[in-house]
């Protein structure tokens, strides 16, 4: 009887351990849950404006099914949970070396930067995190639908030009910071400060929110999407992934427009690259 009880107890402990391990591998609720509901709808994708790039044309109607999108970009803290769960590879880490782009990487940065967006990640690392969180990367169409509000907004907040209260871009403190780290100087987008010489903590600019309340869709970090790059008229397709939104290094307002498109190989990493998830 005693041996049977011990065996039964051992099985219960083993089963409990399996349950704990399974739970430990799953993303915490605070990572899975901070999303915004986006209703289905149709919108005009692309731009015919004078400052539009050729790859934003021709404009065309797109239907988007209902989905959810992360309110903010994925932070260093959130990505760290995935690394600790063994489901994500570490991003490129900060190194104290002038002229090396990793001097701008937030992972293992001496300032901490837990609530800043994780950067220096490639498409595959972004995809792995989203899968672990029970999500996925947004499509290019979904991203633009939310950023434009489905109503043709030039910027997520509307049609007014960017300002340092609405987003983190290359502001007055940016050129000196780049120069001190031996990077090419950038003409600042603003004469005033936006508060951060590099990335800002996710969600720092509520005045820049989209129609649906999504934050940081312009500036801070370029965001990976799941979409392969293709010309809208079908004349060209590439094995590169589309990124959207511009970054903290942006000194040109055209890169921050909701219709602007950027593409890179999936293995690309850099100080300006991050992501958010959808489901």
pLDDT tens for each residue of 74-130:
999 999 999 999 999 999 999 999 999 999 999 999 999 999 999 999 999 999 999
> How far apart, in whole angstroms, are the C-alpha atoms of residue 256 and residue 246?
5
In this predicted structure, the answer to whether residue 2 has a pLDDT above a threshold of 60 is no
Closest CA to 135 of 203, 67, 83: 67
Residue pair 45/141 in contact by the 8 Å Cβ criterion: yes
Q: Identify whether 58 is preceded by a cis peptide bond (ω within 30 of 0).
A: yes
Token pair recorded at residue 126:
């972004």
Least confident of 3-7, 84-88, 245-249: 3-7
> How far apart, in whole angstroms, are the C-alpha atoms of residue 180 and residue 190?
19
Does residue 18 lie within any of the structural domains? no
Domain membership of residue 215 as a residue range: 27-274
What would the pLDDT profile of 167-189 be if each residue is shown by its tens digit? 999 999 999 999 999 999 889 99
Does residue 17 lie within any of the structural domains? no
Does residue 164 lie within any of the structural domains? yes
Domain total for the chain? 1
Does residue 220 lie within any of the structural domains? yes
CATH for 52? 3.90.1580.10
Q: How confident is the model at residue 25 (pLDDT cuts 50, 70, 90)?
A: confident
Does residue 240 lie within any of the structural domains? yes
Does residue 20 lie within any of the structural domains? no
Q: What is the pTM of this model?
A: 0.90
Closest CA to 241 of 217, 269, 216: 269
CB atoms near residue 264 (< 10 Å): 18
Does residue 14 lie within any of the structural domains? no
Beta pairing partners, 61: 44
Does residue 170 lie within any of the structural domains? yes
Closest CA to 232 of 13, 20, 61, 2: 61
The separation between CA 210 and the C-alpha centre of its own chain, rounded to angstroms, equals 15
Distances 97 to 74, 93, 119, 156, 260 between C-alpha atoms, Å: 26, 12, 17, 35, 32
């Amino acid at each position: 009887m005693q041996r049977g009880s011990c065996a039964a107890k051992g099985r219960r402990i083993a089963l409990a351990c399996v349950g704990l391990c399974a739970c430990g591998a799953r993303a915490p609720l605070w990572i899975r849950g901070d999303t915004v509901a986006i209703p289905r709808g149709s919108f005009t994708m692309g731009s015919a404006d004078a400052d539009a790039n050729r790859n934003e044309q021709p404009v065309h109607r797109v239907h988007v099914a209902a989905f959810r999108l992360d309110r903010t970009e994925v932070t260093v803290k959130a990505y760290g949970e995935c690394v600790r769960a063994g489901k994500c590879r570490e991003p490129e880490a900060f190194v104290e070396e002038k002229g090396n782009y990793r001097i701008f990487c937030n992972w293992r940065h001496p300032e901490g930067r837990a609530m800043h967006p994780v950067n220096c990640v490639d498409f595959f690392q972004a995809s792995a995190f989203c899968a672990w969180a029970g999500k996925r990367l947004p499509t290019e169409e979904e991203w633009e639908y939310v950023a434009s509000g489905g109503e043709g907004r030039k910027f997520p907040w509307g049609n007014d030009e960017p300002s340092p209260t609405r987003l983190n871009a290359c502001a007055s403190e940016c050129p000196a910071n780049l120069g001190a780290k031996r990077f090419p100087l950038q003409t600042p987008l603003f004469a005033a400060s936006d508060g951060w010489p590099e990335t800002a903590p996710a969600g720092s600019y509520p005045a820049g929110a989209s129609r649906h309340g999504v934050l940081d869709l312009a500036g801070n970090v370029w965001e990976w999407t799941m979409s392969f790059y293709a010309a809208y008229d079908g004349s060209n397709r590439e094995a590169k992934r589309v990124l959207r939104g511009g970054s903290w290094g942006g000194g040109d307002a055209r890169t921050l427009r909701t219709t602007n498109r950027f593409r890179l190989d999936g293995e690309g990493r850099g100080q300006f690259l991050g992501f958010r998830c959808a489901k």
